[in-house]
């Protein structure tokens, strides 16, 4: 984890890079395109997001960073409507795919969507970024929250300033956003993961959870519901022995998986309800030659997991389409910003190719159902 000061400079430098890229209103996504399957060797580090590299050099150059902040404050003022899609962190193919969908929606709606986020999945860094965007008076914010409660005051500040706030993927608690775009019913996301784990464990034995950050609202909700699910009689012989956190960081997730193998030599399944954690865990199983002994399941992207489905390290996992999630988030934000809806329960709107949606009584819009991927269907998907 970076220290606070480093994180601040990291954020400033990230904004600097984005400001430089963002002067043209139709700015393309600022992160690298979706990568294919992750490397199989632990020693091969995945490509760092563009913002991280800049962040590291920025620690030695506070003056340049300060100048960059000034430049960033004028970034979205190029005319037209500019929304910002804010992921938990940059450099995560799941969020990059969401951004692709967001850019598709932006094109259809004739608006600009910038893609800006913290280098690490850290709420303090995300709040700093959001404060900058509020000061820039962007037209709307679509956020995947690093912390549901800590972001409430910032969300309220945006709404009070007339900036619509929707969350997607990971919610800010009610009051700090107008609408949350939920990828799938949380209880279904929990149930499918326990079903897969039970199948892989042969109905009995030790299982562990390897999550994202300990503050992630979406993962925490799913974990609580998985624990409920495990109380069902059909899962009586499964024992959840531990929950560890890889912080949606590949290296940390990989070493947390190794830690689990060591601590529980008879561990049967790791459930990773995070696309970063599941890919890192499957790679760790493969590298440790534990295929067939420890199985990995959870939530992953087909492109990152293909190799592990085929090797048997992670025979099946689930997810929704993150591209559709980003697309729906932008349509929802635009419906509020353009005055078509107020963003209140009962409001109805149309989201392009995805069709009609209604905001439910809790201020939530539901995308759909999760899909289970295994060797029979994985080659049909490319994200
Ligand atoms: C990671 C993030 C994201 C989550 C997916 C499943 O990419 O934690 O918030 O929804 O995993």
Q: Is 165 in the pocket of ligand 1 (CB under 6 A)?
A: no
Q: Is 92 in the pocket of ligand 1 (CB under 6 A)?
A: yes
Q: What share of the chain is helix, strand, coil (3-state, %, to 5)?
A: 45, 15, 40
192, 85: one domain: no
- Position 11 in a domain: no
Would you give the DSSP letter of residue 11?
H
- Position 118 in a domain: yes
Question: In this structure, which residue's CA is closest to atom 4 in ligand 1?
Answer: 274
159, 277: one domain: no
- Which pLDDT does position 26 carry in this prediction? 31
- Position 3 in a domain: no
174, 314: one domain: no
User: If DSSP codes are grouped into helix, strand and coil, which group holds residue 317?
Assistant: strand
Q: How many domains does the chain have?
A: 2
Q: Could you tell me the distance, in angstroms and rounded to a whole number, from the CA of residue 64 to the centre of ligand 1?
A: 33
166, 213: one domain: no
Q: Is 304 in the pocket of ligand 1 (CB under 6 A)?
A: no
Residue of 49, 87, 88, 181 with the most ligand 1 atoms within 8 Å of its CB, for mutation: 88
Residue of 169, 221, 278, 367 with the most ligand 1 atoms within 8 Å of its CB, for mutation: 169
Q: Is 332 in the pocket of ligand 1 (CB under 6 A)?
A: no
205, 268: one domain: yes
- Position 280 in a domain: yes
295, 352: one domain: no
Would you say the C-alpha torsion 187, 319, 171, 360 has a positive or negative sign?
negative
Give the DSSP per-residue string, 238-296: EEEEEEEE-TT-HHHHHHHHHHHHHH-TTEEEEEE-SHHHHHHHHHHHHHTT-TTTSEE
- Position 5 in a domain: no
List per-residue pLDDT tens for the chain, 383 residues long: 333 433 443 444 333 333 333 333 333 333 333 333 333 233 333 333 333 322 323 322 322 332 223 233 335 545 699 999 999 999 999 999 999 999 999 999 999 999 999 999 999 999 999 999 999 999 999 999 999 999 999 999 999 999 999 999 999 999 999 999 999 999 999 999 999 999 999 999 999 999 999 999 999 999 999 999 999 999 999 999 999 999 999 999 999 999 999 999 999 999 999 999 999 999 999 999 999 999 999 999 999 999 999 999 999 999 999 999 999 999 999 999 999 999 999 999 999 999 999 999 999 999 999 999 999 999 999 99
242, 276: one domain: yes
What's 253's domain CATH number?
Answer: 3.40.50.2300
Domain that holds residue 156: 22-183+322-368
36, 163: one domain: yes
Q: Is 212 in the pocket of ligand 1 (CB under 6 A)?
A: yes
Nearest to 378 by CA among 320, 316, 323, 295: 316
120, 194: one domain: no
**Cα–Cα distance between 145 and 125 in angstroms, integer?**
11
Question: In this structure, which residue's CA is closest to atom 11 in ligand 1?
Answer: 274
207, 153: one domain: no
Beta bridge partners of 350: 356
254, 333: one domain: no
Q: Could you tell me the distance, in angstroms and rounded to a whole number, from the CA of residue 78 to the centre of ligand 1?
A: 32
Q: Is 272 in the pocket of ligand 1 (CB under 6 A)?
A: no
260, 205: one domain: yes
Q: Could you tell me the distance, in angstroms and rounded to a whole number, from the CA of residue 62 to the centre of ligand 1?
A: 32
28, with CB counted inside 10 A (0-12, 13-18, 19+), is exposed
Q: Which two tokens stand for residue 340?
A: 């078509």
Q: Could you tell me the distance, in angstroms and rounded to a whole number, from the CA of residue 104 to the centre of ligand 1?
A: 21
Q: Which two tokens stand for residue 123?
A: 């709420």
- Position 261 in a domain: yes
- Position 63 in a domain: yes
- Which pLDDT does position 73 carry in this prediction? 33
Orientation angle between helical segments 152-160 and 123-135, nearest 10 degrees = 10
């Amino acid at each position: 984890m970076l220290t606070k000061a480093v994180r601040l400079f990291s954020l400033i430098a990230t904004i600097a890079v984005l400001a430089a890229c963002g002067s043209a209103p139709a700015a393309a996504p600022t992160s690298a395109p979706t990568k294919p399957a992750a490397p199989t060797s632990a020693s091969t580090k995945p490509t760092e997001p563009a913002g991280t590299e800049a962040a590291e050099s920025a620690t030695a150059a506070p003056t340049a960073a300060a100048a960059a902040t000034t430049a960033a404050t004028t970034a979205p003022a190029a005319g037209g409507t500019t929304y910002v899609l804010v992921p938990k962190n940059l450099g995560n193919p799941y969020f990059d795919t969401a951004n692709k969908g967001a850019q598709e929606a932006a094109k259809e709606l004739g608006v600009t969507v910038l893609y800006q986020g913290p280098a690490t999945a850290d709420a303090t860094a995300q709040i700093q970024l959001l404060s900058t965007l509020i000061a820039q008076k962007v037209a709307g914010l679509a956020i995947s929250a690093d912390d549901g409660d800590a972001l409430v005051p910032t969300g309220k500040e945006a709404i009070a300033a007339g900036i619509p706030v929707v969350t997607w993927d990971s919610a800010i608690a009610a009051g700090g956003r107008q609408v949350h775009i939920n990828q799938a019913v949380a209880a279904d996301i929990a149930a499918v993961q326990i079903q897969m784990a039970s199948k892989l464990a042969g109905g009995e034995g030790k299982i562990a959870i390897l999550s994202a950050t300990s503050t992630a609202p979406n993962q925490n909700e799913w974990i609580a519901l998985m624990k409920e699910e495990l109380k069902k009689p059909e899962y009586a012989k499964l024992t959840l022995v531990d929950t560890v956190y890889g912080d949606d960081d590949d290296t940390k997730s990989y070493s947390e998986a190794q830690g689990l193998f060591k601590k529980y030599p008879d561990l049967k399944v790791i459930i990773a309800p995070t696309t970063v954690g599941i890919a890192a865990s499957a790679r760790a199983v493969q590298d440790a030659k534990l295929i067939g002994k420890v199985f990995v399941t959870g939530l992953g992207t087909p492109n990152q997991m293909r190799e592990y489905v085929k090797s048997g390290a992670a025979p099946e996992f689930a997810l929704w389409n993150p591209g559709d999630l980003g697309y729906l988030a932008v349509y929802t934000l635009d419906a509020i910003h353009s005055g078509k809806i107020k963003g209140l329960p009962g409001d109805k709107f149309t989201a392009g190719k995805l069709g009609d949606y209604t905001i439910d009584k809790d201020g939530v819009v539901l995308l759909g159902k999760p899909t289970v991927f295994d060797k029979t269907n994985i080659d049909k998907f490319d994200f």
